[in-house]
Amino acid sequence: ENTIIYFWDPQCGHCKKESPKLVEFYNEYAEKLDVEVYTVCADSNLADMKKYIREKKMNFINVNGPRSYTTDYHELYNIFTTPVIVVLDKNKKIIAKRLVSEQLPEFIENHKKMREEKD
């Protein structure tokens, strides 16, 4: 139903605080809210990326932005700092940007209610 894209960097101090919160959100709400999480690492160093993913237990689909199919993701999503959380609806349209993990449950529930009222 909803997709979360999380842009992060293993050297980013704010990411080191946000990543565990996103893992906690995912473990608690992924099934309840029908949410998938994908992450994009902004650092091209694969060893650092893999180590960070293991340490933070980020059991999502994780990709390396600089080594991905399209390296202009910064401009596509207007991402120039990390961490950034982007929420997409079921049609993969951006419905929120720059939320923190603690805001996700309420935002997604409210968006779902609003959509149901429209239908």
Q: What domains are defined for the chain? A: 2-118 (3.40.30.10)
Q: How far is CA 49 from CA 2, 45, 108, in A?
A: 25, 6, 28
- Residues 59 and 85: their CA atoms lie apart, in Å, by 16
Q: Walk along the chain (119 residues) and give the pLDDT tens digit of each residue.
A: 899 999 999 999 999 999 999 999 999 999 999 999 999 998 878 999 999 999 999 999 999 876 665 556 667 777 888 999 999 999 999 999 999 999 999 999 999 999 888 87
Q: Are 25 and 58 in contact (CB under 8 A)?
A: no
| CA angle 38–84–68, rounded 5-degree value | 50
Distance CA 86, CA 19 (A): 14
Give the full edge-to-edge strand order of the sheet including 84-88. Answer: 61-64, 35-41, 2-8, 84-88, 94-97
pTM higher than the cut 0.85: yes
Query: What is the token pair recorded at 51?
Result: 């180590």
Distances 44 to 7, 48, 58, 64, 85 between C-alpha atoms, Å: 13, 9, 18, 7, 19
